[in-house]
């Protein structure tokens, strides 16, 4: 008996299934042919490479991301990552470059700019902070969940917080209790690790209590950082951030400072 089956093509997904059934005299002669899925049928990522994001002019440029937009779906949706990096972060970088022209600033070290900025210059503090803070934020995030600090940092965390878990609990609590937009940091200052919260785009550099400290990691607690992925569940965002801290980066940063 001869028969055939018509296969529909679903163009939105670009996946084509084709099934050939050969006519035969009996079931024993029936041959099933597997059609391999070609790589060209697999939809390419719709998200551009973050390294393509550049400032329009000026001394400061985007540093790139340590991962692609769609690399950590367990932490951030690709569209949220792209929005955050290619819009919000880039806007701060462009605004900072514009201010450099307007203020005639010759200093191109972002930490020095933040340390020496007049407290009255809120525009410079906001945009320079927005640029610096985001750079550290992206570096604080790992594609791999549950990495661990090295031995030196583990000892320091144990000395100053009791244990790694105690640090995480205190960091979570501080982040959850931060009202409105801001950042929570782990800083190192004169042999001691501390958790610090700053409002808006302030940094430990322009906070009178902590300006001598070295920022080791930071979490962005502006709504644009988590709302598209977690909506109003800020606590879940904070928990997932802690699960994705890049402890290799943080350990290296501390080691290079104390050596």
Residue 71 or 221 having the CB closest to Fe ion: 221
Residue 83 vs 164, nearer CB to Fe ion: 83
Contact segment (CB under 5 A) with Fe ion among 19-27, 142-150, 177-185, 212-220 equals 212-220
- CA-CA-CA-CA torsion sign (163, 164, 165, 169): positive
> Which tokens belong to 74?
């367990």
Q: Both tokens of residue 113? A: 């700019």
The rounded distance, in Å, linking the Cα atoms of 100 and 43 is 42
d(CA 208, CA 22): 80
The number of angstroms, rounded, from the C-alpha of 228 to the middle of its chain's C-alpha atoms is 14
Count of residues touching Fe ion (by CB under 5 A): 4
Site stretch for Fe ion (CB under 5 A), options 5-13, 103-111, 175-183, 220-228: 220-228
**Residues within window 143-182 making contact with Fe ion, judged by CB under 5 A:** none
Give the separation between CA 252 and CA 45, rounded to whole angstroms.
32
From the list 67, 114, 156, 220, which residue makes contact with Fe ion (rule: CB under 5 A)?
Answer: 220
Pull the structure tokens for residue 142: 């790992």
Does the footprint of Fe ion cover residue 202 (CB under 5 A)?
A: no
The C-alpha angle 199, 144, 132, rounded to 5 degrees, equals 30
Closest distance of CB 106 from Fe ion, Å: 28
Give me the residue whose beta carbon is nearest to Fe ion: 220
User: Whole-angstrom Cα distance, residue 253 to residue 256?
Assistant: 5
Q: Is 82 in the site for Fe ion (CB under 5 A)?
A: no
Provide the minimum distance between the beta carbon of 231 and Fe ion in the complex, in angstroms, as a whole number. Answer: 17
Shortest spacing between CB 60 and Fe ion, in angstroms: 16
CB of 103 to Fe ion, least distance (A): 23
């Amino acid at each position: 008996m001869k028969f055939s089956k018509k296969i529909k093509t679903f163009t939105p997904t670009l996946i084509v299934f084709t099934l050939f059934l050969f006519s035969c005299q009996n079931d024993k002669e029936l041959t099933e042919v597997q059609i391999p899925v070609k790589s060209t049928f697999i939809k390419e990522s719709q998200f551009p490479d973050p390294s393509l994001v550049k400032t329009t002019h000026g001394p400061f440029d985007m540093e790139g991301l340590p991962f692609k937009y769609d690399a950590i779906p367990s932490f951030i949706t690709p569209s949220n990552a792209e929005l955050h990096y290619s819009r919000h972060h880039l806007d701060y970088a462009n605004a900072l470059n514009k201010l450099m022209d307007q203020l005639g600033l010759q200093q191109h070290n972002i930490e020095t700019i933040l340390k020496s900025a007049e407290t009255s210059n809120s525009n410079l503090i906001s945009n320079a902070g927005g640029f610096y803070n985001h750079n550290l934020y992206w570096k604080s995030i790992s594609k791999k969940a549950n990495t661990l600090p090295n031995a030196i940092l583990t000892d320091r965390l144990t000395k100053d917080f009791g244990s790694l878990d105690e640090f995480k609990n205190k960091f979570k609590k501080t982040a959850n209790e931060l009202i409105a937009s801001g950042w929570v940091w782990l800083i190192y200052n004169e042999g001691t690790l501390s958790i610090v919260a700053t409002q808006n785009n302030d940094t430990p550099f322009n906070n009178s209590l902590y300006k001598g400290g070295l920022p080791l990691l930071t979490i962005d607690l502006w709504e644009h950082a988590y709302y598209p992925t977690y909506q109003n569940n800020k606590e879940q965002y904070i928990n997932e951030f802690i699960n994705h801290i890049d402890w290799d980066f943080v350990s290296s940063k501390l080691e290079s400072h104390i050596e």
